[in-house]
Structure 1
Amino acid sequence: MIKLNTSYYKIFATLSVAVLISSCSNTKFLQEGQMLYTGAKINIKNDTLSKKEKSNLKEALLDQLRPKPNSSFLGLRPKLYVYNITKEPTKEKGLRYWLKYKIGEKPVLLQDVDREFNKKIIVNYSENKGFFNAKASSDTISKNKKAQVLYTLKPGARYLISQVNFPEDSTVINSEIQAIKDKTFLKAGNPFDLDVIKAERQRIDEHLKNRGFYYFSPDNIIVQADSTVLKEPKVELFVKLKNNTPQLSKEPFTIDKTIVFADYNLEDVKLGKYGIPYITDSVEVYKDLYVIDPQHKFKPKIFDRTLYFDKGDLYNRKDHNLSLNRLISLGVFKFVKNEFVVSDSLNHTFDAYYLLTPRPFQSLRLETLGKTNSANYTGGEVNLNWTHRNFFKGAEQLKGAIYGAADVQVGGPKDANNIIRFGANAQLSIPRIVAPFRFNSSSAYVPRTNFNLGYEYLSRTELYTLHNFNTSFGYVWKENERKEHDLKIFDMTLVAPQKVTEKYQTQIDGDDSDPLNIIKPNPSLQRVIDKQLIFGPTYNYTYTNTMLPKKNTFYYKGSLDLAGTITGLVSGADAKAGKQKELFGIPFSQYAKMEHDFRYYRKVNDKSTIATRFIAGIGYPYGNSTTMPYVKQFFVGGSNSIRAFRARTLGPGSYDPRNEEASFFFDQSGDIKIEVNAEYRANIYKFLNVAVFADAGNVWLINEDDDKPGGKFSKDFAKEIAVGAGVGLRLDFSILILRLDLAMPLRVPYYEEGNRWTFDRIDFGSGAWRKDNLILNIAIGYPF
């Protein structure tokens, strides 16, 4: 049973009464003769349409009508009430102005509704959908100073397409249209639909643009409908060019010259007849390209690899867009402009001009960050980042960074000691695949070869110090805007410990010298400070369509990590049999790891979304390893995971971390991870968003660990799932999203079986309960 303090009941009851009063009192602010407009209803009188067809038509028509009534929530109009009770401000700023005109909504009155105009909209939309004999009427339903407009539509019979004709002639453009007429969107037997006709015009235009007809436009196509041939409600369609189509639009063009202005500046360059700079003396000819780059900022071959037009090529829109997108994806140009100028109207050729304005090649950025997390750490971080976007004059990006951070524990039940980190890293990114084999990419995104090198120093004061070296070499390429591949041919991490304190070593070995405070051995802590050498290939695949304006969107990321596979096989490594092999005096890790991250976003309406995520991963040590490297294991809990539990304190399985004798929290890890998250997000005012969420999951071990009882994955894993839920507040300032999530555990896997659900222990009135169970997560960005 959930316990609530009596004062909470009073507050809730008071708010409920206030909301109910506000819903009834909006009409009292109306003047004599005014009526509040509450919306429109549409009644369709037609016996031939199915229930679903009527519903779809109603929904579409309602969306067309204007004005929209005042927004409502559960039948109430709180924004209208705020407007009504707020006095008229004396100036266009201040709290009163903000409340009345930003939070509040001006009442929409019946007199604001132009019923004749709306009837024309209903009839016009119906005709566009094939109801050529549509008629509409309206009536008003009023009560208690509220009014609703009822529109009645008599659409008549819907006209179907009887036949689609593409008249033939001897022109080149007509032959192109004839070649694709079999793929027309206009099908005999389908209803007449203006939206389908528009799509058909776009389809033809897209094909012609890819066949050289640069100057063609969808407006050059006319679709004539003839309903006089047949007595029944059917129309015959004729798809053809308009008589006034310009001759230039009917001719296919080929490329003559491709001219690149690599350092274009609108203010400094003299313009030609068509707004294109005159070709100056500083022209470098590279293959079929004319490159104008007086200061030699770029190697010409970068443009040969990026641009897809060659001399004599038939113009096509695909290569046109491909070239522009590839220039943009180089990341070195601030502005990219492209123009085509007719060079020979008789032979139908034009020159392609690319006007490129480079970004500043070098930049230096200083970032400071303050942070806190659910593990009671508060601290800050400083990053100094340097970027050169054209290091070898071929759009190669060289990035370097140095950083330092400190995290101090300011509370919590245990002393986890402070954390100090600093390090440096460098990355060289080359805009092509550097390999002994040929790699051709027709993607709009330039593939890249990446080299990375980094070092980090980490010190947990009074415990240990770790040195982490890492390097990698690999490729990143995108098939299209939805699919991306990231393959690291070689990815190596070396972790070396230093200054392991006696305090930490005692936690590993145990100490029974004091019978009143016996510290039991905890060998699992040794894995954190073991020397680790991890190397091998990794691969990540990402698919997403979340950038598209669709109601339902998806995100998927899959990763595969194979460490020490070939080396382990060649050397005959078998750690279980006592044949563990070493490189440079360090046992190398051998394992296979796989992880899948699925996300689904459903747009409920313009202001709310349901977001869900499912993560599953497994890491399997073999050969030269009996356990997964600690840095490659899975963790749960924290602001981007199961938010009702502090970061990395959950699992594995039903293992109870409270049993540890250490004077600090040891991060709990596992070889298997399952996590599910669901979140309802709603916008309540411009930058202000709220959320309700639930998280579930845990981590488990592949093999039994005597130091982690209950940690091994078994058929009863479902009984060891942790569950949490909460509410969130998100401040979306465009440049960043500040997120505050307040969560509480609903199911704790390390409690006694049968007593893991915590509903009967929820007590918001208890300060002790709130302290132990309410977790506040402060973070930047959405959790998923």
Structure 2
Amino acid sequence: MKLNKYIYRIGSERKNSKAFYLLSKCRLEQGFSVACLVVFLKNLIRSCGAGTMGKIKISSFLWLIIMLSSCSNIKYLPEGEKLYIGGEVKVKGDSLRKKEKKALQENLQTLIRPKPNSSFFGLRPKLFFYNIAGETKKEKGIRYWIKNKLGEPPVYASKLDVQYNVDVLQNRVENLGYFRAHSEGDTTSKNKKVTAHYLVQPGVQYKIRKVVFPEDTTELAKAIRADQAQTLLKAGRPYDLDVIKSERERIDSKLKERGFYYFAPDYVIAKVDSTIGKQEVDILLEVKKQTPAKSKGEYFINDIYIYPDYSINGSSVIRNNNKYVTQYKGFKVIDRKNTIKPQVFDRTMFFEPGDKYNRTDHNLSLNRLVSLGTFKFVKNQFKETDSLSNKLDVYYFLTPNRKKSVRLELLGKTNSANYRGTELSLNWLNRNTLRGAEQLTISAFGGFEVQIGGQNKGYNIYRYGADATLVFPRFIAPFNVNTSGAFIPKTQINLGYEHQRRLKLYTLRTFKGSFGYVWKENVFKEHEFKVLDVTYVNSNNVTQEYLNKVDSMPSLGRIIEKQLIFGPTYFFTYTNTTLANKPNTFYYRGGIDLSATITGLFMSKKDTAKIFGVPYSQYAKMEHDFRYYIKVGAKNKWANRVFVGVGLPYGNSREIPYIKQFFSGGTNSIRAFRARSIGPGSYMDPNTAHSFVPDYSGDIKLELNTEYRAKLFSIVEGALFADAGNVWLMNRNSDRPGAEFTKDFMDQLAVGVGAGIRFDLSFLILRGDLAMPIRKPYLPKGERWTFDQIDLGNKQWRRDNLIFNLAIGYPF
């Protein structure tokens, strides 16, 4: 079959086009090579101007794509082979409701093997790339990359075993309680393509009438019956083999909590009686007669041995030399090099001699040892004692991490305000600073940001600084917090300094210090409480240009004022996004930040609000970040976020400090607007035409985001999104009309929409988003929606409105 007639349709406007002439010479009988395709596309672009391309019918291109990715795939089939394009399962039966029938059909569909080549609207682009790449002699080069990265090998019909699939389907429906089901299968073939068809007639699903647990008087049977109220096998529910397997695992898990260390799920057998009539079954749970005797007994902890300097070859294991054994409470610590203080294990071990074994304490001890960060490998071993029955000796083998390490990082930075830059950081880490598993991190960094084009060109930013953090794996406090979970509570002390120079404007020097605690209740909940969080900001080298700007916009003067902020902060985080099997997950982070609250209570109105001559800020700030993720199918997701932040200045403050205010716009915010360019409210500085553009901030923030994320192919994901939000001032400011928060705040929301592409590189997500504003809050009322102004063909409109965001990671 030739392509000439399809090429003629596409090229009718330019019959002499070199591109179409070349493609017309490519016949499917001769194969369609990579070179032919590349040259065709190259000449198509050269020979077709914008006007001609606009006249080419989309339907003609679709015909071309179909012929290339469909017909050519068939052409490459070996002699006697056919292409397998998939199978379809139909469930037929009057006993099932429509919803149940659909669910069963989807369940069975996943069992069919083999899986056909991936398709996109009926096309198989991966198979097409595999075929056109041809044979590859080397494991490198463009052909190899196309064949093995973009392409996938064909799935031949000869690999299909219909009877095997019929047996699998029959087995599954019987395991779901359809004991009188019937399954059959067949194939159809057309144009060297084979499709499999399966018909399943399930009949009536059997239900559970009653469940009987072991009734003997042994301790094992008593332990099993003690938790029978929590059984997964409920009377009236459908029979399901998978539920029976889960019930066996539940029984095993409960027995592990009661000291039955050697028990296993396979020791439980379920006998099913389906002859009682009325499509019902009785289930009798028993312990197998072949169960070993030691699996039926409870075990207790005897001696606990800890090796904090264990090497992989086991040379550090010494059991009978008391010279190196330190007895601390109930533990025997064997540490020849005096690596770590024994007190550390008092906070990590949940077992004590004499305790009955239980799985929870077993796992909690291991998790705590791992979370210390001091040990590279953690493993343990339980051994029966030689002389005592039902006693276990416990051994913990801890291989230390390298105590000190240095890491050098070079980062590339970009944002939607056209700033490009880099940052170099040097980090030194000591994982056991005071021999108590304390971690000391000292970092030094330096970097710059330059605006390549735009209004802030030349106003470059240079930063350097240092930071030190000391983390203790315990609470250093007069009070105690219940931290019986798998995560060790931590006390953190931090000191830091940053020097920021903004060319042509000013220099800021920031000193920070904090003391507080971090602890996790469980894998979902985390608390961060800083008893004292101090920030001091000072400025110098303020230029006349910036001072002139302050005259026209006095609020900018707050940036260069001396600022002293101190007070407690508290943040709470809850997330279940790690549960991959849940269809809907969410993330919440909320916190409160109080500055000089207690100090303000003791200061009279006559007192000057200064400490050591520096004015301190008084405010209360609260923020809430809520994210909700909905699975759409197997690979797609709908992500949503609501962010609400409120800062209440009081006392000597009309606005909360600039470094504590909220900002809107940018790669992780409202992507249709440049970073920190939105608001406050409907205010817009009228004097930025020939000057730098300042960062706009506010005391209140509202942001709404929604994004649909779709898996396209391989590592490539696509996204469609919409963002809305703004920031406002709490109090009226005559220098910035329209900036204060009022009841009409919804009318001042900025709105943007766009599309993005993401590359999932496993170790990071590389993201590119293209967005445009559809609502601008600074325009006059009644003119803020800008749908009527969209003009994609206008170069100036694109320059002013299309914002490209390049970032790492998802925006939320």
Q: Aligned-pair distance for 1:20?
A: 3.7
Q: Aligned-pair distance for 1:605?
A: 4.0
Cα distance in 2 for partners of 1:498, 1:68 equals: 67
Residue correspondence of structure 1 range 710-749 to structure 2 within 5 A: 710-749=738-777
Residue correspondence of structure 1 range 421-440 to structure 2 within 5 A: 421-440=463-482
Partner of 1:250: 296
Equivalent of 2:589 in 527, 551, 557 = 557
Residue correspondence of structure 1 range 141-160 to structure 2 within 5 A: 141-160=188-207
Cα distance in 2 for partners of 1:380, 1:373 equals: 12
1:265 correspondence with 2:311: yes
Partner of 1:164: 211
Equivalent of 2:560 in 529, 549, 563 = 529
Q: Aligned-pair distance for 1:586?
A: 2.0
Q: Deviations over 1:284-323 (max 9, x none)?
A: 1101100011110100010111100001000000000000
Cα distance in 2 for partners of 1:706, 1:455 equals: 35
Q: Specify the SS of the correspondent of 2:242.
A: helix
Q: Deviations over 1:592-641 (max 9, x none)?
A: 11111111223334443322222111111112211111111100111111
1:613 correspondence with 2:645: no
Residue pair 2:655, 2:729 contacting (<8 A) in 1 also = no
Cα distance in 1 for partners of 2:323, 2:726 equals: 68
Q: Deviations over 1:66-125 (max 9, x none)?
A: 112222222332222323333233344332232233322333343322110011101100
Q: Aligned-pair distance for 1:10?
A: 5.2
Q: Aligned-pair distance for 1:233?
A: 2.1
Residue pair 2:458, 2:503 contacting (<8 A) in 1 also = no
Partner of 1:541: 572
Q: Aligned-pair distance for 1:491?
A: 0.7
Provide TM-score, normalisation by structure 1: 0.93
Cα distance in 2 for partners of 1:459, 1:152 equals: 73
Cα distance in 2 for partners of 1:579, 1:571 equals: 6
Q: Specify the SS of the correspondent of 2:289.
A: coil
Partner of 1:499: 541
Residue pair 1:507, 1:662 contacting (<8 A) in 2 also = no
Q: Aligned-pair distance for 1:335?
A: 0.1
Q: Aligned-pair distance for 1:372?
A: 2.7
Question: Structure 1 213/727 Cα, relative in aligned 2: closer, same or farther at 3 Å?
Answer: same
Cα distance in 2 for partners of 1:270, 1:664 equals: 65
Q: Is 295-304 or 593-602 further displaced after alignment?
A: 593-602
Residue pair 1:327, 1:336 contacting (<8 A) in 2 also = yes
Q: Aligned-pair distance for 1:42?
A: 2.3
Q: Aligned-pair distance for 1:278?
A: 6.2
Q: Specify the SS of the correspondent of 2:357.
A: coil
Q: Aligned-pair distance for 1:225?
A: 0.7
Q: Specify the SS of the correspondent of 2:347.
A: helix
Cα distance in 2 for partners of 1:11, 1:624 equals: 68
Equivalent of 2:115 in 40, 63, 68 = 68
Q: Aligned-pair distance for 1:658?
A: 4.5
Partner of 1:303: 345
**Structure 1 residue identity aligned to 2:289:** N
Residue pair 1:271, 1:278 contacting (<8 A) in 2 also = no
Q: Is 106-115 or 260-269 further displaced after alignment?
A: 106-115
Q: Aligned-pair distance for 1:152?
A: 1.6
Cα distance in 2 for partners of 1:385, 1:12 equals: 59
Question: Structure 1 604/239 Cα, relative in aligned 2: closer, same or farther at 3 Å?
Answer: same
Equivalent of 2:676 in 643, 648, 657 = 648
Q: Deviations over 1:26-49 (max 9, x none)?
A: 445446664433322223232222
Q: Aligned-pair distance for 1:279?
A: 5.8
Cα distance in 2 for partners of 1:93, 1:422 equals: 43
Q: Aligned-pair distance for 1:698?
A: 1.1
Equivalent of 1:238 in 277, 280, 284 = 284
Question: Structure 1 338/400 Cα, relative in aligned 2: closer, same or farther at 3 Å?
Answer: same
Question: Structure 1 729/262 Cα, relative in aligned 2: closer, same or farther at 3 Å?
Answer: same
Question: Structure 1 716/445 Cα, relative in aligned 2: closer, same or farther at 3 Å?
Answer: same
Unaligned residue ranges in structure 2 (runs of 5+): 1-48
Cα distance in 1 for partners of 2:788, 2:427 equals: 51
Q: Aligned-pair distance for 1:722?
A: 1.2
Cα distance in 1 for partners of 2:187, 2:766 equals: 47
Cα distance in 1 for partners of 2:561, 2:63 equals: 63
Question: Structure 1 176/299 Cα, relative in aligned 2: closer, same or farther at 3 Å?
Answer: same
Q: Aligned-pair distance for 1:346?
A: 4.8
Residue correspondence of structure 1 range 169-248 to structure 2 within 5 A: 169-228=216-275, 230-248=276-294
**Structure 2 residue identity aligned to 1:541:** F
Cα distance in 2 for partners of 1:307, 1:7 equals: 76
Residue pair 2:310, 2:316 contacting (<8 A) in 1 also = no
The two structures, once aligned, show a CA RMSD in angstroms of 2.2
Residue pair 1:255, 1:351 contacting (<8 A) in 2 also = yes
Equivalent of 1:123 in 170, 180, 188 = 170
Cα distance in 2 for partners of 1:679, 1:538 equals: 31
Cα distance in 2 for partners of 1:447, 1:135 equals: 58
**Structure 1 residue identity aligned to 2:491:** T
Q: Choose between structure 1 and 2 for higher RCO, CA contacts under 8 A separated by at least 6 residues.
A: 1
Question: Structure 1 156/97 Cα, relative in aligned 2: closer, same or farther at 3 Å?
Answer: same
Q: Specify the SS of the correspondent of 1:340.
A: strand
Q: Specify the SS of the correspondent of 2:766.
A: strand
Question: Structure 1 290/572 Cα, relative in aligned 2: closer, same or farther at 3 Å?
Answer: same
Cα distance in 2 for partners of 1:547, 1:279 equals: 46
Q: Deviations over 1:674-717 (max 9, x none)?
A: 11222233344444333332222111111111221221222222
Cα distance in 1 for partners of 2:501, 2:563 equals: 17
Q: Aligned-pair distance for 1:181?
A: 1.6
Equivalent of 1:352 in 375, 394, 412 = 394
Cα distance in 1 for partners of 2:513, 2:456 equals: 36
Equivalent of 2:789 in 746, 761, 767 = 761
Residues paired across the two proteins, number:
761
1:93 correspondence with 2:140: yes
Residue pair 1:270, 1:278 contacting (<8 A) in 2 also = no
Question: Structure 1 227/410 Cα, relative in aligned 2: closer, same or farther at 3 Å?
Answer: closer
**Structure 2 residue identity aligned to 1:610:** W
Question: Structure 1 7/343 Cα, relative in aligned 2: closer, same or farther at 3 Å?
Answer: farther
Q: Specify the SS of the correspondent of 1:198.
A: helix
Cα distance in 2 for partners of 1:734, 1:45 equals: 42
Equivalent of 2:65 in 10, 19, 38 = 19
1:373 correspondence with 2:415: yes
Question: Structure 1 31/351 Cα, relative in aligned 2: closer, same or farther at 3 Å?
Answer: closer
Cα distance in 2 for partners of 1:640, 1:236 equals: 57
Question: Structure 1 126/279 Cα, relative in aligned 2: closer, same or farther at 3 Å?
Answer: farther
Cα distance in 2 for partners of 1:407, 1:450 equals: 31
Cα distance in 2 for partners of 1:170, 1:344 equals: 29
Cα distance in 1 for partners of 2:128, 2:689 equals: 59
Residue pair 1:616, 1:673 contacting (<8 A) in 2 also = yes
1:700 correspondence with 2:745: no
Q: Specify the SS of the correspondent of 2:380.
A: strand
Partner of 2:598: 566
**Structure 2 residue identity aligned to 1:435:** A
Partner of 2:373: 331
Question: Structure 1 232/261 Cα, relative in aligned 2: closer, same or farther at 3 Å?
Answer: same
Question: Structure 1 117/280 Cα, relative in aligned 2: closer, same or farther at 3 Å?
Answer: farther
Partner of 2:810: 782
Question: Structure 1 32/358 Cα, relative in aligned 2: closer, same or farther at 3 Å?
Answer: closer
Q: Aligned-pair distance for 1:12?
A: 8.1
Question: Structure 1 43/691 Cα, relative in aligned 2: closer, same or farther at 3 Å?
Answer: closer
Partner of 2:33: none
**Structure 2 residue identity aligned to 1:522:** M
Residue pair 2:309, 2:316 contacting (<8 A) in 1 also = no
Cα distance in 2 for partners of 1:295, 1:113 equals: 63
1:669 correspondence with 2:711: no
**Structure 1 residue identity aligned to 2:589:** K
Partner of 2:451: 409
**Structure 1 residue identity aligned to 2:782:** G
Cα distance in 2 for partners of 1:397, 1:93 equals: 45
Residue correspondence of structure 1 range 565-644 to structure 2 within 5 A: 565-573=597-605, 581-644=609-672
Cα distance in 2 for partners of 1:158, 1:294 equals: 65
